[in-house]
Each structure stands twice: as structure tokens, then as C-alpha cells.
Amino acid sequence: MSDITNLEVALGSRSYHVLVGEGLLAQAGDQVRRVAPAERVTLISNDTVFELYGDAVVQALKAAGYSVDVVRVGDGERHKSLSAATNIYEKLTSFGAQRWDPVVVLGGGVIGDLGGFVAGTYMRGVPLIHVPTTLLAQVDSSIGGKTAVNLPAGKNLVGMFYQPRLVLSDIAVLASLPAKYALGGLSEVLKYGFLEGKDLLAFVEGNLADVIALRSSEMRQVVAWCCKTKARVVSEDERDEGRRAILNFGHTVGHALETLQGYGTYEHGEAVSIGMAAAAVIGLKAGLTDETTARKVVGLLSRAGLPVRLPSVPAEVIAGSILLDKKARDRQMRFVLLRKIGEPVVTSVPEDVVVGSLGQANHLIDRML
Amino acid sequence: MSDITNLEVALGSRSYHVLVGEGLLAQAGDQVRRVAPAERVTLISNDTVFELYGDAVVQALKAAGYSVDVVRVGDGERHKSLSAATNIYEKLTSFGAQRWDPVVVLGGGVIGDLGGFVAGTYMRGVPLIHVPTTLLAQVDSSIGGKTAVNLPAGKNLVGMFYQPRLVLSDIAVLASLPAKYALGGLSEVLKYGFLEGKDLLAFVEGNLADVIALRSSEMRQVVAWCCKTKARVVSEDERDEGRRAILNFGHTVGHALETLQGYGTYEHGEAVSIGMAAAAVIGLKAGLTDETTARKVVGLLSRAGLPVRLPSVPAEVIAGSILLDKKARDRQMRFVLLRKIGEPVVTSVPEDVVVGSLGQANHLIDRML
């Protein structure tokens, strides 16, 4: 019970708490009961995560008096689909799930987005509890209420804002993460560092080996730090109409790469890492980001073991995909660029500057390393 | 422009106006532009309605400077499905529809629920304008933000609350409604009369022939009256957690009948009419509704030409369907019953009272007529 960090996402009647600490899976039953008392609960998870932690969570829920039905979804981004959602809806009706029965979503960002969307739309919304099991989900996707599924035309094109009642981030689960997933989350951690300034970034930089190794003592601090930042930004702008856009640093190019390569070639965090490096170059070419800042971004991502070079896709094709994405307007592309570390700016960049920057990006990035 | 009634649904930052009057279709372009300026608009309609009014609305939108893409959906409740929603999403992406491009939904309750759900979930929500073309949609489903699609297990099991930016109710379209649809709406009009008291009910009763014939001068008053009632109830309880439940008068049994018969056997309003008659009988048997009130409900529905007798489905089967529906809890069934005209009560009724009442309902109803 010791060392649980309790953060609030302040959203009026939709406010909720994010708990960060070790051993929270074992408390899941009591914690869920506090926010959603009922007779039964539906646990939505994916195959890999359920193998690792499913029993622990089911036992905790049963110990708190719930009857538990489990829905397992296959692994990977391709299951974040309308057809997967349809399958879950049909299971919920077969369980007799009612509007007050909580849905607990156990897994990473994919299952969080999918399970959140289902919980937000089944019977026009049932109580949702996120139990994120990847670093990426703990520091980012479990907080803030963005839910979504993909369409063939692009990622996250169908979704809604639906806030959970509670987020339980058990740091202990990070120890069993495959390295690929750990790196993805590290990319988001560095994003918070670039956006929020020097303290978090200095801590990560100074403890890079331990952070990459996901050592619990460092991660508890890092995750709580990131969650606090995310909670504050979400409280200021729940529906992503203003300030929250800064959280898209690296995501404009990142999403385009994920769409173009087909889901699954890059982990989300890897695509975002390349996107942040690209945003550093675009900022440099647009005269907004200074060379020291760009070098800091590219260098730290690279030292953390994250990819920074663009794949061999023509710059025009990447730009075309960005224009189709929901962040584009009037053939101006909205980018989050860094004036300096800790000073993000949301700005429009003309198509030709984007294309020109992307065309030169790998050359410039190689020179910074 | 004369005789337009302008009502506000007061919901803070989600407030919007409902315009009721003749000739509003021709103003659609200018009115949509006021709430959702953009370069293009998607018009979602169904085959029958689009044949009648599609051109008028498309022309009005074009005259206001919009480029217009049209999505047509087949007629009928069976199209209120996840697969229909999926088709529309794919059309929206093929049009390059962006998050600021409005969706105008032209049609009755089915297309309104489906189009509203798509607008609420595409890119996590795009501007939505309802142009309801049935009496039912004008007085009820276009106001209040309930959107939904059906699952095989039941009606409206997937959906969300998503408020439109504007509702345009053109009274002139009612003149061309097939009688079956007109009756369905009349059922909801009478519902508002039963719930809200004597003035509306007396007006409808005193002008029953003209109201049934959907004469414009009477309908403008009736529709505005109903919309005002609905707007007030929605403003008090947007998410249907309290007072808004009174609007479900007749819907508990009504939904069950629609589910059991397969969608489309009854029009929604017909099922609700039978449901209101059933609620009158249940209220009577539960000792809550007096005989005069029950007789008034059953008699007026019948005189309006609406069905009041239950189909030959065993009472236990109807009760079982209600228990699966989202209004059930702990094998108690939530019903809206009338203490008197204008005095609705939301209350739990034990399963055996419901089954007993439904078993005797047709016998009692025949005696009241």
C-alpha cells in the first residue's frame, strides 16, 4: 500500500483519480468497487496480457464480490477495429451486461482505445476502469478519455471522448514488458520531457540506463511525473480544442507513418519518435526551432535506442497522408514545434516547407548524431 | 420567414436552437452556415426522404456555398445498424470529410439516430444538424442528443449522447407523410400531453381531426409545444440520469415489443402507443393510476387511430425482454406510470405485477373502450 501516488484528473462531474504504484493489480477489486459497485464486471483484455496478469485481476475482482466475465481480443493494432468492437458488444449482451456494470480494460494502448470505445458506446456508456499494462498506456493513452478504433483509411478515425472512472497503473507490470513495448513508452516519456521542460528531461537523461531497463524505483517517479502532466493538460482542454494539441508533438508525422506502413510495422511510440525527430527538422527549416534544441531532441531519442530516421517513403506521400489526417486544414498542416525545450508551439506549416524538410530530414538528422 | 418558433435547448457550451416553422428546408444552407461554416457538407438521408426533399436541401446548401456529398441509406429500422454506420464512415473518408465539416441528417428517427451516431463518433465528433422530416423525429428524437444503432439483441444498445448544433423542423414536410408515419408521431404527441398536462392534451383532443390530418396551422403549435417540453426536460437532465426518464412513458413495453417482433413490424410510435396503454393498465393494477386516468389514456390513443392492444405474445416473454433491456435492474422493472394526467412517476414494479397486468391487459383495455 506504500508509495501509491494518487493524482486527480479534474473535469467537474467527470473527474477521476489515477493511482500509480506497485501492487495495484491485487487491489483492483476493492478499487473498482469504490467507483462502480455492481454484481458483475466485464474484463476486456488481449491474449498476451491476459496470460500474464488476467488471473491476478480476475481473482482480485472476485475477492471483492464481483462475478467476472472475460472478453479476450487478439494482439495488435489490427484488432482496434469496428469488427472487434462489434464482437465485444455481442459478448456484452450475451453476458446480460447492464448499464451500471463496470468494464475493466486490462492492457496497452490498443486494448485501452478499443475497450474504452466499447464502454463509451455500449448502452450509451457504462463505467470504465483502465488498468494499463504498458508504459505507453500508463503515461498517455489511459488518461484523458480519448477512445478510438481504426478505419482502413486511417488510425483513430472513429471514436469519442469518454472518461474512465479510475485508472490503476501498476508499476510492477512494467518489469515483464517486452523491450519493443518498453521503447514505445519511453518515446512518450521523452515527449513529456521535451514539452514540459528540464526537470523531467534531466532526470531521464541522468538515469537513462535505469529508465530504459524500467527499474521500478525510477519508473514510479517517471510515470507519476508524466501522468501529472497529462492530467493537467487534459483538465485544461478535455475535448482537444486548444492547449491539449501540444500532446500531439511527434504525432503528425508519426500517424502518417503508421497509416502508410500498415498498422504494426512501427509500434506507436517508435513512429512518434521518428515524428518528433521530423518535427525538430521542420522546426529548424521553418526558423522556429534552434539548432541546439533540435540536436537535443534527435540526440536523446537516438541515445534512448529509439528510431529517428524516416523510412524510404517519398516526402510528398507522407505529406498527402498528413493532409488526410484530422489535424490538417486548408492544405496548411498543423504541427507542434519546439521553440525551445519546454516551449511547444502549435502552428501551421505550409505544405512545401513540410515536403522540403521531410526530403532532407535523414541527411540533417545524420549530421546531428 | 414568418412564424418561425425559435427554442433553445440550454446545455451550457452544448446549447443549441430548434427552429420550427414552414419553409425551413429552403433556408437550410444559411442556417447551417451560421453554426458550422466550412467548405463542404455531408448530407445523410434515406431513399424515400431523399426522393421527396433531397433536391431542395442540396440546392439550399449549394446556394450557401457548400460543396455537398450525399450518403443515402435504405429505408427502415434494420438499417440502424453497425454495418450501416461502417458504410457511412467509409464514405466520409472517401469524401475527405474533415472534423469541421458538418453532417446534415435529413429524415425520420431511424436516420436521425444512425446519422447522429456517425456524426458523434467520426473523428470523435463533427458538427451535426438535424432536419427531421417525420412528426416523431420533430417532436422527439431530433432533440436531446440520444444517438444509437441496434444490435441483434435489442434496440439502441450501442450509442452515445451527442448534441446537434441545430435542429430545423420544417412543418411543411409533414403534409407529405404517409399516414403510418404520421400516426407514429401522434403517439409521441399524446405522450407529451399525458406527461405535461391538460393544455396540450385539450388542444389535441379538441382538434383531433385536424391534428390527425397534420394540418399546418395546428401542427406548428403542436410541434413547438412538444419541442419546448422536450427541450426543458433535456436541459434538466442531459444524460438521462433522472427526470428525463419520464420521457420513457410507454417505451418500456414498447421497446420490448419492437425487439420481440423483429424491427419493422410496428412503427416505433405504434409500439409506444401499445406501451402507454400497457403502462396505464400496470399503473391501475399497481394501485397508482386511477381508473379515470387509465381510461383517458387508452381512449384517446384509440380515438387517434393508434393501436392499444398487445399482440399475442406471452406476458412472460415480454417481461423477459424488458429485463434484458437497459431500463431493468435487479429483476425490478422501471416503469413510468401516471398518477394522473400531468403527474408521471418513475417507479419500480415487481416482475409478477408486470406479468399479471400484461396477461390481463387486452381484457381490461377492451372494457375501457
Same domain, A142 and A196: no
What are phi and psi for residue B347, nearest 5 degrees? Answer: -150, 160
Question: How far apart are the C-alpha atoms of A50 and A40, rounded to whole Å?
Answer: 19
- Which pLDDT band, with edges at 50, 70 and 90, does B158 fall under? very high
Cβ-proximal residues to B120 (8 Å cutoff; 6+ apart), any chain: A160, B128, B147, B160, B162
Same domain, A154 and A200: no
Same domain, B44 and B140: yes
- Flag whether pLDDT at B52 surpasses 70: yes
The answer to whether residue A232 is domain-embedded is no
CATH assignment of the domain containing B290:
1.20.1090.10
Same domain, B62 and B132: yes
What percentage of chain B carries pLDDT values higher than 90?
81
Question: How far apart are the C-alpha atoms of B306 and A299, rounded to whole Å?
Answer: 74
Same domain, B254 and B171: no
Which of A100, A114, A158 should one mutate to test binding to chain B, selecting the residue with the greatest count of B CBs within 10 A? A158
Same domain, B21 and B164: yes
Minimal CA separation from B137 to chain A, in Å? 19
Residues of B in contact with A93 (CB under 8 A): 151-154, 157, 324
ipTM of the shown complex: 0.89
Residues of A in contact with B100 (CB under 8 A): 329
Residue A128 sits in which domain range? 5-176
- Would you say the C-alpha torsion B352, B355, B360, B364 has a positive or negative sign? positive
Residues of B in contact with A99 (CB under 8 A): 326
Q: Which of B153, B176, B199 is the last residue of a domain?
A: B176
- Residue position matching grid coordinates 409521441: B188
CB atoms inside a 10 Å sphere around CB B99: 16
The answer to whether residue A227 is domain-embedded is no
The answer to whether residue B310 is domain-embedded is yes
Contact B94 A120 (CB under 8 A): no
- Which member of B90, B156, B160 has the closest CB to residue A151? B90
The answer to whether residue B204 is domain-embedded is yes
Question: How far apart are the C-alpha atoms of B181 and B44, rounded to whole Å?
Answer: 20
Same domain, B79 and B109: yes
Contact A123 B157 (CB under 8 A): yes
The answer to whether residue A327 is domain-embedded is yes
Cβ-proximal residues to A37 (8 Å cutoff; 6+ apart), any chain: none
The answer to whether residue A229 is domain-embedded is no
What percentage of chain A carries pLDDT values higher than 70?
96
Same domain, B29 and B163: yes
Cβ-proximal residues to A232 (8 Å cutoff; 6+ apart), any chain: none
Higher pLDDT, B12 or B177: B12
Grid coordinates standing for A242? 486548444
Higher pLDDT, B268 or B204: B204
Same domain, B142 and B279: no
Q: Return the biggest CA–CA distance within chain A.
A: 61
Residues of B in contact with A125 (CB under 8 A): 160-161
- The per-residue pLDDT for range A162-209, each reduced to its tens digit, is 999 999 999 999 988 777 667 778 999 999 999 987 789 999 999 999
- Which member of B86, B94, B154 has the closest CB to residue A82? B86
The answer to whether residue A358 is domain-embedded is yes
The answer to whether residue A220 is domain-embedded is no
- The per-residue pLDDT for range B236-262, each reduced to its tens digit, is 999 988 899 999 999 999 989 988 877
Q: Which of B129, B147, B176 is the last residue of a domain?
A: B176
Grid coordinates standing for B329? 435492474
Same domain, B154 and B284: no
- Which pLDDT band, with edges at 50, 70 and 90, does B1 fall under? very low
- Residue position matching grid coordinates 389514456: B297
Q: How many domains are there within chain A? A: 2
Same domain, B170 and B202: no
Write down the mean pLDDT value for chain A.
Answer: 92
Which of B103, B150, B158 should one mutate to test binding to chain A, selecting the residue with the greatest count of A CBs within 10 A? B158
Same domain, A59 and A130: yes
Contact predicate B170/B129, CB 8 Å: no
CATH assignment of the domain containing B65:
3.40.50.1970
The one-digit pLDDT tens for each residue of chain A (369 residues) are 468 999 999 999 999 999 999 999 999 999 999 999 999 999 999 999 999 999 999 999 999 999 999 999 999 889 999 999 999 999 999 999 999 999 999 999 999 999 999 999 999 999 999 999 999 999 999 999 999 999 998 889 999 999 999 999 999 999 887 776 677 789 999 999 999 877 899 999 999 999 988 888 899 999 999 999 999 999 999 998 888 999 999 999 998 998 887 766 888 889 999 999 999 999 999 999 999 999 999 999 999 999 999 999 999 999 988 887 654 556 678 899 999 999 999 999 998 999 999 999 999 999 998
Q: What is the pLDDT of residue B263?
A: 63
Contact A123 B326 (CB under 8 A): yes
Interface of A with B (CB under 8 A): 82, 85-86, 89-90, 93-94, 96, 98-100, 120-125, 146, 148, 151-154, 156-161, 240, 324, 326, 328-329
Range of A331-340, B20-29, B171-180 with top mean pLDDT: B20-29
